[in-house]
């Protein structure tokens, strides 16, 4: 089987449209369509239902694509093992990073990783945690570095990198800042219920940050007034600094906090978990292990 053709068919299945797939593959749509027609003729059955611009996969197509992904994964694992033995490290690693801080994290990781592995090519993709897990599971990407709760997929390996505490971000000028409390060790904390009448900037509805935030509000016994739900930590902090709203964000020393924004821990100390996620049958090459270790160092530094 032609592995290049296999990868092209997988792309059609992912895009659900042959024109978009051809654009992503940098080949002409007629050429890609001819590859598909020849394959379907060889197999004696259709791999896709064509309904206008949207294509859906047939049962035969699903079997083909599932098998094709396994073949691609086997090829990558084979090359990674040989690369480790030969000390060439000329592999390509596709990474999906998720979380409101993904841009900061991957920028920091990439700089260090490239110094350690100058011949390894990283494909960096910013995406939601659930999407990253799905793409790791089907072999589209090799590794996910994500924030999530405790729910896990049994087909995947989850390597805990660190716990990330959610904290309250509020304008320093907000009078409620004066109502902080102190734990026995001197830690300054806030009862989130004091902010029940304050609007909140919340993350996207399908994000881990949003899920954990909603758990915090549910435990506190009130539904917040949602000022805005969107993605973008700098925009979020700018609105908090202007005292337009408050927010719940992951504690991090890598994000620049405006001088007029104060971060306060919550009495309940809610946390997200940072994980490296990969298939259980995935061979971890030396560069992949370097990448996971750098991600752990990044999150662990936040705890110091």
pLDDT of 81 reads 80
Which residues, at least 6 apart from 219, have a Cβ–Cβ distance to it below 8 Å?
268
Beta strands 143-148 and 271-279 are antiparallel
pLDDT of 151 reads 66
How far does CA 191 lie from the centroid of its chain?
Answer: 30
Helix 286-301 and helix 102-116, axial crossing angle in degrees, nearest 10: 130
Q: What are phi and psi of 227, to 5 degrees?
A: -70, -45
CA–CA separation, 29 and 18 (whole Å): 7
Q: Judging by beta carbons within 10 Å of its beta carbon (0-12, 13-18, 19+), is residue 2 exposed, middle or buried? A: exposed
CA–CA separation, 208 and 129 (whole Å): 7
Which residues, at least 6 apart from 230, have a Cβ–Cβ distance to it below 8 Å?
201, 203, 204, 236
CA–CA separation, 302 and 247 (whole Å): 19
pLDDT of 88 reads 63
The two tokens of residue 193 are 């219920």
pLDDT in tens, the chain (304 residues): 578 889 899 999 989 999 999 998 889 999 999 999 999 999 999 999 988 888 999 999 999 999 988 888 888 888 778 877 766 667 889 999 887 677 788 888 888 999 998 988 888 888 888 888 989 988 889 999 998 876 677 789 999 999 889 999 999 999 999 999 999 898 999 999 999 999 999 988 878 888 889 999 999 999 999 999 887 788 899 999 999 999 999 887 677 889 999 999 999 999 988 999 999 888 899 999 999 999 999 888 755 4
CA distance to 95, 148, 156, per residue, from 271 (Å) = 24, 9, 22
Identify the three-state secondary structure at position 196. coil
The two tokens of residue 292 are 């996971």
CA–CA separation, 144 and 121 (whole Å): 16
Burial 102-133 (b: 16+ CB within 10 A, else e): bbbbbebbeeebeeebeebebeebebbbbbbb
Got the DSSP string for 25-77?
Answer: HTS-HHHHHHHHHHHHHHHTS-SEEEETTEEEE-HHHHHHHHHHHHHHHHHHH
């Amino acid at each position: 089987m032609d592995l290049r053709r296999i990868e092209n068919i997988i792309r059609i299945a992912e895009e659900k449209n042959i024109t978009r797939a051809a654009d992503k593959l940098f080949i002409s749509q007629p050429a890609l369509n001819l590859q598909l027609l020849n394959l379907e003729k060889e197999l004696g059955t259709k791999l896709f239902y064509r309904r206008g611009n949207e294509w859906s996969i047939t049962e035969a197509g699903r079997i083909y694509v599932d098998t094709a992904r396994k073949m691609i994964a086997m090829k990558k694992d084979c090359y990674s093992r040989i690369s480790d033995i030969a000390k060439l490290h000329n592999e390509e690693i596709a990474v999906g990073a998720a979380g409101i801080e993904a841009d900061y994290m991957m920028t920091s990781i990439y700089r260090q990783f490239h110094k350690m592995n100058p011949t390894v090519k990283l494909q960096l993709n910013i995406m939601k945690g659930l999407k990253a897990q799905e793409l790791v599971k089907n072999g589209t990407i090799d590794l996910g570095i994500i924030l999530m709760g405790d729910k896990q997929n049994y087909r995947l390996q989850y390597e805990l990198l660190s716990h990330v505490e959610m904290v309250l971000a509020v304008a320093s000028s907000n009078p409620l800042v004066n109502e902080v409390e102190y734990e026995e060790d001197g830690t300054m904390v806030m009862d989130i219920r004091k902010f029940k009448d304050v609007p909140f900037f919340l993350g996207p509805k399908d994000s881990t940050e949003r899920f954990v935030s909603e758990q915090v509000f549910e435990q506190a016994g009130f539904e917040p007034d949602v000022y805005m739900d969107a993605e973008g930590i700098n925009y979020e902090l700018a609105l908090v600094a202007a005292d337009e709203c408050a927010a719940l964000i992951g504690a991090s020393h890598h994000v620049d906090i405006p001088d007029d924004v104060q971060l306060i821990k919550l009495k309940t100390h809610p946390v997200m978990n940072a994980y490296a996620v990969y298939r259980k049958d995935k061979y971890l090459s030396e560069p992949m292990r370097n990448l996971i270790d750098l991600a752990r160092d990044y999150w662990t530094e936040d705890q110091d």
